[in-house]
Amino acid sequence: MNNTTDNPPKKNLVKEILAWKKKREAVILAHVYQPGEIQDIADFTGDSLFLSQQAAKTQAKVIVFCGVQFMAETASILSPEKIVLLPEIKAGCPLADMAPAEKVKSKIKELPEAVVVSYVNSSAVVKSLSDYCCTSANAVQIARSIPAEKEILFLPDMNLADFTARKARRNIIPWQGYCPVHNILTKEDVIKVKKLHPQAVLLVHPECRPEVCNLADYIGSTRGIIEFASNNPAKEYIIGTELGIFHPLKKNNPDKQFFPASKKMICKDMKLITLEKVLYSLQNLEPRITVPEDIRIKSLKALNRMIEIS
């Protein structure tokens, strides 16, 4: 945790947040797509599953999840005894919304023999309908654990499904959803930036289009991208994921340069949480995220299967 702001009102706000955090026996989690000032007050930063796992391990009574709805739901599934707060209740995920539960149920009826794998970027209800969950970091590993003769219904991201099918060599039926932030990046965008920075290493997220992934030097989760850039000797990188990741990249690697593959790669939902909203959440223990027990138990089964394989 490192507060870097020099703004006195913000410093006072941060002090108040930390005081209330102590009073509530809370832990603050922030996804790496969050604004830098939110990441700086967090006890843990990372991708959604890593954060939820940290939440499950902690002795804290309250989890303040600075992310989006499905992330807070996942924390609640893994830690039902804890109070889970999402400081902005409107922070959703367009990708998760592309797989509404009723449509998923219908598709499963059409494909009764298929193994259902849902990306963690899905609602709790969709997770409850799934055989396995996965993250962008372990999707290939999960797919490889499923017998090769089985069909896999993979949802909701078609680009991650394509990447997984190629790497795992499995028969994957993709759901026709996509992350608007990653899908906006085109091959032409990448070629343009590569011409400006010919020595730079291209790192992209597997939610990007296949033609973009084909140009990459490394394809990985947000955590994977940060680790690759930190451990690789190269000094210049082009980054193909949401721009919030530049905060930890620059902080961890002050001697390296990072260039966005596209300046359009901004998740508006991830930017909805502010310091003021975090403080309000801690003071009022609202908005709370809960998952109905029947849904939670079924979702937990799919998440635990993933964790056992990983």
Q: Are residues 301 and 170 in the same domain?
A: yes
Q: Are residues 305 and 158 in the same domain?
A: yes
Q: Are residues 163 and 304 in the same domain?
A: yes
Determine the Cα–Cα distance for residues 1 and 45; give it in Å rounded to an integer. Answer: 9
Six-digit token string for 89: 């209740």
Is 213 part of a structural domain of the chain? yes
Q: Are residues 71 and 141 in the same domain?
A: no
Q: Are residues 211 and 75 in the same domain?
A: no
Domain count, the chain: 3
Residue 115 Cα distances to 72, 161, 225, 263, angstroms: 26, 13, 29, 37
What pLDDT, on the 0 to 100 scale, is given for residue 101? 97
* Cis omega (within 30 of 0) for bond into 292: no
Tokens 């989760």 found at: 221
Please say whether the beta carbons of 204 and 159 come within 8 A. Answer: no
What pLDDT, on the 0 to 100 scale, is given for residue 53? 83
Beta bridge partners of 204: 219, 240
> The CATH number of the domain where 232 resides is what?
3.40.50.10800
Q: Are residues 77 and 107 in the same domain?
A: no
Q: Are residues 71 and 209 in the same domain?
A: no
Q: Are residues 142 and 166 in the same domain?
A: yes
Q: Which tens digits make up the pLDDT trace of 33-55? A: 999 999 999 999 998 878 878 88
Strands 26-31 and 44-46: parallel
Determine the Cα–Cα distance for residues 281 and 279; give it in Å rounded to an integer. Answer: 5
Structural domain boundaries enclosing 132: 95-178+295-309
Phi/psi at 18 (5° precision)? -65, -35
Residue 183 Cα distances to 213, 250, 271, angstroms: 11, 24, 19
Q: Please name the residue ranges forming H helices in the chain.
A: 8-24, 36-41, 48-57, 69-78, 94-97, 101-110, 124-128, 139-144, 158-168, 180-183, 187-196, 210-213, 222-231, 246-252, 275-284, 293-309
Q: Are residues 213 and 260 in the same domain?
A: yes
What pLDDT, on the 0 to 100 scale, is given for residue 6? 60
Is 145 part of a structural domain of the chain? yes
Is 161 part of a structural domain of the chain? yes
Q: Are residues 172 and 301 in the same domain?
A: yes
Phi/psi at 147 (5° precision)? -50, 140
Phi/psi at 237 (5° precision)? -140, 140
Is 2 part of a structural domain of the chain? no
pTM of this structure: 0.93
Taking only Cα atoms into account, the Rg of the chain, rounded to an integer number of angstroms, comes to 19
Determine the Cα–Cα distance for residues 309 and 133; give it in Å rounded to an integer. Answer: 11
Name residues of the chain where pLDDT drops below 70.
1-6
Residue-level length of the chain: 310
Determine the Cα–Cα distance for residues 307 and 142; give it in Å rounded to an integer. Answer: 10
